[in-house]
Chains A and B, each alone.
Chain A
Amino acid sequence: MSAAGDVPDGRPDRAARPDRTARRAARLVRWYPRAWRARYGEEFTELLLADIRERPRSAARTLDVARGGAVARLAGAGLCGFGVRDAAAPDVGGHVRASLSSLGCCLAVFLAFGAALSSQLTIGWQWSPTASTQAAIATVVTSAMMLALLALGCAAAVPVLCSVAVRAVGSRGRGLAVPSAVLIAATSVLIIGGRHFGNGWPGTGGHHGLVPAGLSAFEWATSLSVSAYWAHPGALAAFPAAELAWMAVSPLALAAAVTAAATLVRRTELPPRLLVFEARLGAVACAAMAVFLGGCSCWVATGGQRSLFHAGLIDVVAVAVMALALAVAQQAARTARLGLRLGPGLGGN
């Protein structure tokens, strides 16, 4: 065991006093996520101590470690490379599940902002079909893709939830009860709240519905927090208290539901064939998200038209967030495919 302060070549170095060197090494190791530190922390610290003694000042080393830590964190989220491998049990499936969890989180963010844009368009159409070609294309495309993404989400969720239920009932369900309860509670809040505020809003009383008015109202209600009113506190203060509370609660409920779902996926061993199925659904979802984004972009880029179909700054921000979510989702889908291809015993292709 080498103690902090040992010098590999025996040279004393003022900059390499044991406590100072150890502190610097400890600071550098903190760039890495906890799981990585648990596995490699001790040995990596030893290497850093030796390196610091040889090169007391090295910006390149700091940058290299920071980059390595960022990569390890991305790998932990299933967004690149390979995760930390348990020495006793190779867990390539776990890394694929992490990728699929991240993909699901990105899809949820995309849908949250997409619902805000889609509901704006479909509710506008309730009152008057648009004269703008771009807005018309965007309305049709986003409506179709929203339905497709919801169908894909259900197709992906059902088999996973069945696997979770089987394990929760059996003896392998440890650690699943709390996220399952949070998922059920948060989803219930979103559905009940969305239905309540959607039903109470008169904005969907028009007669030219491209999609059912109730669906538009539900979309609008669940994405009420994606609003330009946050930048106008005066106008926001005039909102009914219940609506304000819903604007604050609904994103929290969505975040809780998504976090719980991701936790369930990460903690539940899924059969290799199901992982392959989920990865394929993820790839299709990425394509649907790209089409959705294309439809929105052609509307937002032209600014839509005055009144009902006007595209404002909040819509530009929403498109930017959706583009980022799509980019991360595609990276997660790529990583999942790579894991399935290279992972021993997963049987992917």
Chain B
Amino acid sequence: MPKEPQERNAGAGEARDGEQPLAGFGRYAGPATLIMASLADGTKHGYVLTKDIESFAGVRISPGTLYEALARLESQGLIEAVESDDRRRPYRLTAAGAVALRAHLDAQRRVADVGLRRLAGNWGTA
């Protein structure tokens, strides 16, 4: 994990009290979460993002969907493009993106914990 949460854009896109951190992303909330989770360990460009997400989530995000989510994340200041001479521009998570991702994953974990606990109570652990 990089120890350099970027200070730029701090504040933009931060989760407000009682508000979903990815509110407004609609059907792109899923791809957005996967992209931010992938960027959590460093910068990546589109192709590497696709491959990384495929490896850890088993999901192949199509190019159109990937860039729609990237554009939305960038417009909200949750990720940012890194200057590069390569035509394949890399992206990285911003400090605000790290806060939003953590809040979103915490919320997902709470749902998963409740679901698993209830499953265990009624259906056993098998």
A-side interface residues toward B, CB under 8 Å? Answer: 1-2, 8, 36, 40, 42-48, 50-51, 60-61, 64-69, 71-72, 75, 81-85, 87, 90, 92, 95, 338, 341-342, 344
Q: Are B47 and A72 in contact (CB under 8 A)?
A: no
Q: Which residues of B contact A60 (CB under 8 A)?
A: 62
Which of A43, A47, A69, A90 is in CB contact (< 8 Å) with B75? A90
Q: Are B72 and A82 in contact (CB under 8 A)?
A: yes
- Of all chain B residues, which has the CB nearest A342? B24
The 7 closest A-B pairs by CB, nearest first: A68-B64, A82-B75, A64-B62, A47-B46, A64-B64, A85-B75, A65-B64
Q: Does B38 touch A at the CB level, under 8 Å?
A: no
How many Å lie between the Cα of A228 and that of B47 in the bound state?
Answer: 55
* Residues B43-84 near A (CB distance < 8 A): 45-47, 50, 62-68, 70-72, 74-77, 80-81
Which of B11, B26, B74, B89 is in CB contact (< 8 Å) with A85? B74
Give, as a whole number of angstroms, the nearest-CB distance from B74 to chain A. 6
- Of all chain A residues, which has the CB nearest B96? A344
Q: Does B23 touch A at the CB level, under 8 Å?
A: yes
Give, as a whole number of angstroms, the nearest-CB distance from B76 to chain A. 7
Which of A45, A68, A87 is in CB contact (< 8 Å) with B68? A68
Q: Which residues of B contact A64 (CB under 8 A)?
A: 62-65
Give, as a whole number of angstroms, the nearest-CB distance from B103 to chain A. 15
Task: Jot down 27 A-B pairs with beta carbons below 8 A, ordered by A.
Answer: A2-B87, A8-B47, A43-B88, A45-B87, A46-B45, A46-B46, A46-B47, A46-B87, A47-B88, A50-B47, A51-B47, A51-B50, A64-B65, A65-B64, A68-B63, A71-B68, A81-B26, A81-B68, A82-B71, A84-B71, A90-B12, A90-B75, A95-B75, A342-B13, A342-B76, A344-B12, A344-B77
- Of all chain B residues, which has the CB nearest A71? B68
Q: Does B86 touch A at the CB level, under 8 Å?
A: yes
B-side interface residues toward A, CB under 8 Å? Answer: 11-13, 23-24, 26, 28, 45-47, 50, 62-68, 70-72, 74-77, 80-81, 85-89
Tell me whether A85 and B47 are in contact in the complex, defined as CB-CB below 8 angstroms, given that A64-B65, A338-B24 are known contacts. Answer: no
Q: Which residues of B contact A48 (CB under 8 A)?
A: 63
Q: Are A68 and B88 in contact (CB under 8 A)?
A: no
Q: Are A47 and B81 in contact (CB under 8 A)?
A: no
How many Å lie between the Cα of A2 and that of B28 in the bound state?
Answer: 29
How many Å lie between the Cα of A45 and that of B86 in the bound state?
Answer: 12
Q: Are B75 and A2 in contact (CB under 8 A)?
A: no
How many Å lie between the Cα of A69 and that of B71 in the bound state?
Answer: 12
Q: Are A344 and B13 in contact (CB under 8 A)?
A: yes
Which of B11, B12, B62 is in CB contact (< 8 Å) with A61? B62
Q: Which residues of A contact B26 (CB under 8 A)?
A: 81
Q: Which residues of B contact A67 (CB under 8 A)?
A: 64
Which of B28, B50, B71, B87 is in CB contact (< 8 Å) with A72? B71
How many Å lie between the Cα of A82 and that of B64 in the bound state?
Answer: 15
- Of all chain B residues, which has the CB nearest A36? B71
Give, as a whole number of angstroms, the nearest-CB distance from A8 to chain B. 7
Q: Which residues of A contact B66 (CB under 8 A)?
A: 47
Q: Which residues of B contact A72 (CB under 8 A)?
A: 68, 71
Give, as a whole number of angstroms, the nearest-CB distance from B67 to chain A. 5
Which of A36, A43, A92 is in CB contact (< 8 Å) with B45? A43
Q: Are A44 and B46 in contact (CB under 8 A)?
A: yes
- Of all chain A residues, which has the CB nearest B84? A43
Q: Which residues of A contact B89 (CB under 8 A)?
A: 42-43
How many Å lie between the Cα of A19 and that of B77 in the bound state?
Answer: 36
Q: Which residues of A contact B23 (CB under 8 A)?
A: 342
Give, as a whole number of angstroms, the nearest-CB distance from B99 to chain A. 13
Q: Are B85 and A1 in contact (CB under 8 A)?
A: yes
How many Å lie between the Cα of A75 and that of B75 in the bound state?
Answer: 12
